[in-house]
Amino acid sequence: MKLQDFTTAREHLQKVLLPTHLIYSPIFSEESGNQIYIKPENLQKTGAFKIRGAYNKINKLTEEEKKRGVIASSAGNHAQGVAYAARELGIKAVIVMPKTTPLIKVQSTKKYGAEVVLYGDVYDDAYQKAKELEAQEGYVFVHPFDDIDVLEGQGTIALEILEEMPDAEVIVVPIGGGGLISGIAAAAKMIKPDIKIIGVEPSGAASATEALKKNKVITLPEANTIADGTAVKRIGDLTFNCIKQYVDEVVTVDDYELTEAFLLLAEKHKIIAENSGILPLAALKKLSERGKKVVPVVSGGNIDVLMISSMINKGLISRDRIFNFAVSIPDRPGELAKITHIIADVGANIVKLAHNQFKNLSRFRDKEVLITVETNGTDHVQALVDAFAAKGYEVTAK
């Protein structure tokens, strides 16, 4: 890859991309000790960065290849990126998706004019079917990440970041199959060799981390994470070599760290992103850098509405905004009112309260009360616990 390849890709992509300007984040800056500027690719057409690589790949096909049409396998953002790009270029597109793919994603892909084939229960089944159809029908296969033309398209993000902020010092990028970080890292290093590129993986699907440890591409026994877009058991061969050459560090985050990042992004910026897309935000507190200009790439925003609710609830609990606890009280009139007054006095809000009269406690005539309250955070929770202790009650977190 040469810098000219990335600049040419950017010229071709101008006609189909939406501008995703950097957004300064006071909250993530405060939490990380750096100056954080979010690159919001979740606001891109089709809701993710994938349009870049897909369009660049398909646009570079020969006229003969374009007549044959393209095929891809995907359960998510790649499907929509390929479908959209093919429609814009007047090319037939076939997308093979697992039968378990949510209906909303199937409909979104069809909306862009692609023919959808539902096959198998998991991505690997869909991939094999796509390769069969490629051989049978002569379609051109568009790989989601292990393709040089796809990498060039994804790398245009780096050009935009460094054009808007030439003094950016760190770019933080999600890693699934490795296509996004490979393109960004290669392009960024060609423009600014001293810039630091940090990749982020979910701890339950850390295929790049394991490959770097063993210095070869390996297949994980499983990929278990709520960040489904990066739940990849095996990174690409091409992308592994790019990561070794251009990426400075790879860190991992767990699912609970993702829920916190999701909550902050939604609450403070009014922006919704998918779990894979917020990996860089979840990793910001783990960076060793301080006082640097850091750009986390929020790569996509295609998330199920029910998942949004779950992420918010778990994020509230993780950041001590929701506190579940138990307290034992004597089984006599007026005792319940005493504890509700304690909660009111510290300014917490009762969400749920229930008696458990059948639990054996240390004192025979006591009963357990299970309480869920809404608080302002960790300090507020501690104030609540201290208030109960001052009145002779012991609080047990649940």
Q: Which of 32, 182, 276, 299 is catalytic?
A: 299
Locate 79 and state its tokens.
Answer: 């499907």
Rounded Cα distance between 135 and 144, Å, is 18
Q: Which residue of the set 25, 32, 39, 50 is catalytic?
A: 50
299 as an active site residue: the answer is yes
Q: How far is CA 393 from CA 44, 216, 327, in A?
A: 53, 57, 7
Pairing of strands 322-330, 395-397: antiparallel
Count of CB atoms within 10 A of residue 105's CB? Answer: 19
Closest CA to 2 of 155, 175, 167, 198: 155
Q: Please, which residues have CB within 8 angstroms of residue 393's CB and are 6 or more apart in sequence?
A: 327, 328, 329, 339, 342
> Which residues partner with 50 through β-bridges?
none
Does residue 323 contact residue 370 with C-beta atoms inside 8 Å?
Answer: no
For residue 169, give the nearest of 300, 37, 72, 259 by alpha carbon: 37
* Whole-angstrom distance, CA of residue 10 vs CA of residue 19: 12
Closest by CA position to 180, among listed 220, 211, 128, 144? 144
Strands 322-330, 366-374: parallel, antiparallel or unpaired by DSSP?
Answer: antiparallel
- Positive or negative torsion for Cα 311, 43, 283, 237: positive
Cβ contacts of 120 within 8 Å, gap of 6 or more? 98, 99, 126, 128, 129
Positions marked catalytic:
50, 299
